[in-house]
Chains A and B, each alone.
Chain A
Amino acid sequence: MSAEPRKAALEGLRVVEFAVFAAGPLVGKHLGEHGAEVIRVESQVSPDGFRVHYPPFKDNKPGLERGGSYALFNDQVLNVTLDLKQPKAVSLAKELVSKSDIVIENFAAGVMDRLGLGYSDLRRVKPDLIMLSSCNQGQTGRRATQRGFGSQLTSMSGFTHLTGYGAGEPPVLLYGPYVDFVAVGFGLIAVLAALDYRRRTGDGQHIDLSQYEAGIQFITPAVLDEQVNGHIQEAQGNRDPNAVPHGVYPCEGEDQWCAIAIFNDEEWSAFCRAAEKPQWASDMRFRTSAGRRAHENELDKLVAEWTSHFKARTVMERLQSEGVPAGVVQSVPDLFSCPQLLHRNQWVKLNHPEFGTYEHEAPPFILSETPAELCRSSALLGEHNDYVFEKIVGLSGPEVQALKEQGVIA
């Protein structure tokens, strides 16, 4: 017999985050999207780096509540402030954890222990606690305590080396802290798997997630290639060993490009049909994929000459209508008007006192019975102090007020 269907998949779960920047907070946001009650512990003394150090700020005016990256990574999450340097604040944090299911933290290894909030401290107040510790290189090993950021760790995890124009040119960045977001997905999976284990056995656990090791999962074939063949994979521009032509081609307008990937002879014929170039289809040099490979530079020039007469979207639509893989190199603004992403309600507009409205990012998967609901924009610093310390921790209004005055809830 089915129980009464519920509205959100993760309803009833409570999560506490001691987290900074993206790698920790975004795991909580994802849990919140599906109905978990997520509470982020921050402080006035040392607010999140995305509130203070990094653009964008709304209208380029810095301010604690004006950080655009903070807004992107912290919707669906409640916010309380505790000055964890004070023993009373630590014991309040523990009381909150004792009434929760999951703790997420992404400080450098050892920081939570020094605060008195390590796994061994917290499991004393909540024996079946699930705790995710996510940091650059894991909780153990010779460099466990090294501080670092995803923008550089992306390079140590092997991604940057594989990205560039090739032919001896230096590597290029993958824009931001790419590997942080790999770690977010794996952190989410880890917590969900531990929840199932807890349901079956009654036991919680500690999860040690090294963002570095999470990243390496994404380059496994290169790791095997090095061992089996002694071959170190290098950046190849946009070329691909299994497709030709394979690249981005300039289109009408400034910095407009369309990606085209042709994997076999059928796609090549379809491409020539869509481009109305029967002479290419009959050109013996391009008949087979080996031939196209041998004349790749020439072919790239021909294709680029053709695409440059059209808008990128036109090239994509013409090729796709003949079944040829093609896609516009969308800019970030393009993403906000991409008909496919709009169809999936990828951007959810919510009100916020400083931003006016802000478009929050929905998860990449849609559940048929319990789709994600984005209903809460990023919280103001300490916005939910009264609710959390009164309704969840169980203090009285005057007690909370006194703790604020003592600088504990601060």
Chain B
Amino acid sequence: MKDNGLLAAYRVLDLTDESGYSCGKILADLGADVIKIESPRGDAARRLGPFPSGVSDPEKSLYFISYNLGKRGITLDIRTPKGRDLLKRLASQADFLIETLPPGTLDRTEFDSRLIIVSITPFGQSGPYCNYKGSDLILMAMSGLMSLIGEAGRMPLRVSLPQSPMWAGMYAAAGALVAHYYRQVTNIGQHVDVSMQASLLWALANAPAFWATNRMAPSRGGSHITGRSMTGARMRAIYECKDGYINFIIYGGKAGRRSNQALVEWMAEHGLATDSLLKKDWNRFSIETSTQGEIDEIEGPTARLFLQYTKAEFLEEAFKREMIGYPVANARDILEDPHLKDREFWERIDEPMLGIPWRFPGIFARFSQMAPARLRPAPRVGEHNSEIYERELGLSPGDLARLREENIV
């Protein structure tokens, strides 16, 4: 038996800007009725590219569409008293409200105590930096992640596609659902204070452990992995191949032994394995005490081997040979991956603004009790004003016309 969505019973008001879109998107993926609320002029983030053919159009921002898919959309100027009043009426029919306004803008006490209010801000609702301005770059810096990305001695780097809004939106959805569980037991709602800076901390993986354990500062190694061996050995992870790059390293443990042995056998097929590699007993190899000399000996022939294969060929060989490694894929490689086709991952959605139905990433996990929801396209500015204000909130067409004239809707 399949439900039409695990969260189909709930309504979400989404007052976020681009720093929080993904929270509502995730809840919509799970079947919730998410209403995106924009200012009467539309979200400023509708001006963020990329656009089809590079032509700016607020209804065609690929960024906006990516993370507002599955939501309905209305406009409302919440800075006016009438607008705030309408917001309260909308909230009285909602279960969650997600917002990214500056701390203190929204007064929680004006809303029903059952409502779960999720606030996403760069640094959190209080504290010395709570009024600091953020942006993806600023948060990637302040989270410590940038200090770990890039070559040693050169400038630290961020990912060239904003990541902080994704981490924050994801943890905001998680926080909302923890609060929801509590509400279903106690009937008490709560405020979820999400810091974008803090949301990125888990992107640092185990880096904080080096400080917490030994007061050691982990550092960036560019295309090399650091911190794997107590000898301080650096290990190349990014190798050039015929049509791009491959990410491969030597591992310890049982899976590592199998992978390392397979690598040497593969080298041998090409006459690239040195005598000492052929004789190496991987059962006695331990990554945590490996030396730079040992690592370098493996690196040279590995580089020569991978140059003879494409990314796709490497992936197939690695799978067949039980080796631990994957290609450095770009968006096209991902779109062409037959494994994702096997899993029917992609969802074709008819975005009227984009012409033909494009493939969007399917839901983030498969649930045995839920057929993947077929998401509605991202809303145009004010697309569902009549549907929601008149039919669901009960305003008359005259009321709505007046609100439009007053520029509130």
- Knowing A54-B288, A257-B156, A263-B135, say if A207 contacts B367 (CB, 8 Å): yes
Chain B residues whose C-beta falls within 8 Å of the C-beta of A373 in the assembled complex: none
- A160 in contact with B148 (CB, 8 Å): no
The answer, yes or no, to whether B297 is at the interface (CB within 8 Å) is no
Q: Shortest distance in angstroms between B355's beta carbon and chain A's nearest beta carbon?
A: 8
- B364 in contact with A190 (CB, 8 Å): yes
- A175 in contact with B204 (CB, 8 Å): yes
Main SS at interface, chain B: mixed
Chain A residues whose C-beta falls within 8 Å of the C-beta of B198 in the assembled complex: 341, 344, 346, 363-365
- A226 in contact with B331 (CB, 8 Å): yes
Q: Shortest distance in angstroms between B21's beta carbon and chain A's nearest beta carbon?
A: 10
Q: Shortest distance in angstroms between A146's beta carbon and chain B's nearest beta carbon?
A: 5
The answer, yes or no, to whether B382 is at the interface (CB within 8 Å) is no
User: Which among B62, B139, B343, B365 has the greatest number of chain A C-beta atoms within 10 A?
Assistant: B365
User: For the complex, what is the distance from the CA of A349 to the CA of B278, rounded to whole Å?
Assistant: 48
Chain B residues whose C-beta falls within 8 Å of the C-beta of A5 in the assembled complex: 186, 188
Chain B residues whose C-beta falls within 8 Å of the C-beta of A158 in the assembled complex: 329-331, 334
- B138 in contact with A369 (CB, 8 Å): no
Other-chain residue from A59, A157, A194 in contact with B214 (beta carbon distance below 8 A): A59
The answer, yes or no, to whether B174 is at the interface (CB within 8 Å) is yes
Chain B residues whose C-beta falls within 8 Å of the C-beta of A116 in the assembled complex: none
Q: Shortest distance in angstroms between A138's beta carbon and chain B's nearest beta carbon?
A: 6
Main SS at interface, chain A: mixed
User: For the complex, what is the distance from the CA of A194 to the CA of B5, rounded to whole Å?
Assistant: 10
The answer, yes or no, to whether B305 is at the interface (CB within 8 Å) is no
Interface residues of A in 26-67 (CB under 8 A from B): 26, 30, 34, 46, 49-50, 52-60, 62
Interface residues of B in 222-265 (CB under 8 A from A): 222-225, 227-230, 237-238, 240, 244-249, 251-256
- B178 in contact with A237 (CB, 8 Å): no
- A49 in contact with B369 (CB, 8 Å): no
Chain A residues whose C-beta falls within 8 Å of the C-beta of B127 in the assembled complex: 339-340, 343-344
- A323 in contact with B7 (CB, 8 Å): no
The answer, yes or no, to whether A387 is at the interface (CB within 8 Å) is no
Other-chain residue from B50, B141, B167, B199 in contact with A248 (beta carbon distance below 8 A): B141
User: For the complex, what is the distance from the CA of A167 to the CA of B181, rounded to whole Å?
Assistant: 49
The answer, yes or no, to whether A279 is at the interface (CB within 8 Å) is no
User: For the complex, what is the distance from the CA of A339 to the CA of B318, rounded to whole Å?
Assistant: 46
Chain B residues whose C-beta falls within 8 Å of the C-beta of A355 in the assembled complex: 212-213
User: For the complex, what is the distance from the CA of A85 to the CA of B193, rounded to whole Å?
Assistant: 45
Other-chain residue from A141, A166, A193, A208 in contact with B177 (beta carbon distance below 8 A): A193
Chain B minimum-CB-distance residue to A70: B209
Chain B residues whose C-beta falls within 8 Å of the C-beta of A186 in the assembled complex: 26, 170, 364-365
Size of interface on A: residues with Cβ below 8 Å to B = 169
The answer, yes or no, to whether A331 is at the interface (CB within 8 Å) is yes
The answer, yes or no, to whether B173 is at the interface (CB within 8 Å) is yes
Kindly supply a per-residue 1/0 record for chain B positions 188-223, scoring 1 wherever the CB is within 8 Å of any chain A CB and 0 otherwise: 101111110111111111111111111111101111
Task: Select the stretch in A196-204, A287-295, A389-397 that faces chain B.
Answer: A196-204
Q: Shortest distance in angstroms between A314's beta carbon and chain B's nearest beta carbon?
A: 14
Chain A minimum-CB-distance residue to B334: A158
- B184 in contact with A224 (CB, 8 Å): no
- B361 in contact with A213 (CB, 8 Å): yes
User: For the complex, what is the distance from the CA of A192 to the CA of B175, rounded to whole Å?
Assistant: 10
Chain A residues whose C-beta falls within 8 Å of the C-beta of B252 in the assembled complex: 49, 53-54
- Knowing A68-B212, A220-B67, say if A175 contacts B145 (CB, 8 Å): yes
User: For the complex, what is the distance from the CA of A365 to the CA of B179, rounded to whole Å?
Assistant: 11
The answer, yes or no, to whether A284 is at the interface (CB within 8 Å) is no
Chain B minimum-CB-distance residue to A358: B212
- A152 in contact with B248 (CB, 8 Å): yes
The answer, yes or no, to whether A241 is at the interface (CB within 8 Å) is yes
- B288 in contact with A333 (CB, 8 Å): no
- B335 in contact with A226 (CB, 8 Å): yes
Task: Select the stretch in B71-79, B83-91, B157-165, B384-392 that faces chain A.
Answer: B157-165
Chain A residues whose C-beta falls within 8 Å of the C-beta of B338 in the assembled complex: 142
User: For the complex, what is the distance from the CA of A3 to the CA of B142, rounded to whole Å?
Assistant: 41
Chain B residues whose C-beta falls within 8 Å of the C-beta of A323 in the assembled complex: 133
Q: Shortest distance in angstroms between A291's beta carbon and chain B's nearest beta carbon?
A: 19
- A173 in contact with B3 (CB, 8 Å): no
- Knowing A72-B209, A141-B342, A367-B179, say if A224 contacts B190 (CB, 8 Å): no
Q: Shortest distance in angstroms between B85's beta carbon and chain A's nearest beta carbon?
A: 24
Q: Name 20 A/B residue pairs within 8 A (Cβ), A-sorted.
A: A141-B340, A155-B327, A156-B326, A157-B329, A182-B167, A185-B167, A189-B364, A192-B180, A218-B161, A219-B161, A221-B63, A223-B361, A232-B332, A246-B137, A248-B137, A320-B129, A340-B128, A344-B195, A365-B171, A369-B188
- Known A6-B186, A175-B220, A340-B142; further 14 A-B contacts with Cβ < 8 A: A1-B187, A54-B252, A148-B324, A149-B324, A152-B247, A165-B150, A165-B151, A180-B205, A182-B167, A189-B170, A222-B331, A224-B358, A363-B175, A365-B172
